[in-house]
Amino acid sequence: MRRDLPCLKGVVGIFEEEAQLVKRTSKATAAKPARKAPARATRSPTKVRKVGSSVASRLPATTPQKAKAAKRKFECGVIARGEAVPAGKPLPPGATHEIVGKDADGAPILKRKRFSLK
């Protein structure tokens, strides 16, 4: 810093004092041993949740018609995407199910053979 400027007379002294202070403290802190981590606080016991308070328990029950419709939609989607092949044929890389027959309604019966090979 330039010491010839009148506005910096008091400021220069402050910086010199800080520099000396840093020199003194840096030597002292280098020799200090490592600080131990504070002890962890123990957890309080968790509250027991009521059995009937989950979101799934508040949903309406599934009717057999809805379950059948969902199964049919899944089967049609698997076939439409090409993830099912007729029984006896080797599974191509994208196929995961095998069509083993048809039920009374004419819907295909699928059997899972493997997970996806992506």
pTM above 0.75, yes or no: no
pLDDT, tens digit, 9 for 90 and up, residues 59-116: 888 999 999 999 999 999 999 999 999 999 888 988 999 999 999 988 899 999 998 7
In terms of pLDDT, which residue wins out, 12 or 38? 38
In terms of pLDDT, which residue wins out, 13 or 53? 53
Report d(CA 61, CA 58) in Å as an integer: 9
Q: Which residues, other chains included, contact 117 with Cβ-Cβ below 8 Å and sequence gap of 6+?
A: 93, 94
DSSP 9: H
The helix (run of H) or strand (run of E) holding residue 71 is: helix 64-80
What is the residue-averaged pLDDT of the chain?
78
Q: For the chain, list the strands marked E by DSSP.
A: 84-86, 97-102, 108-112
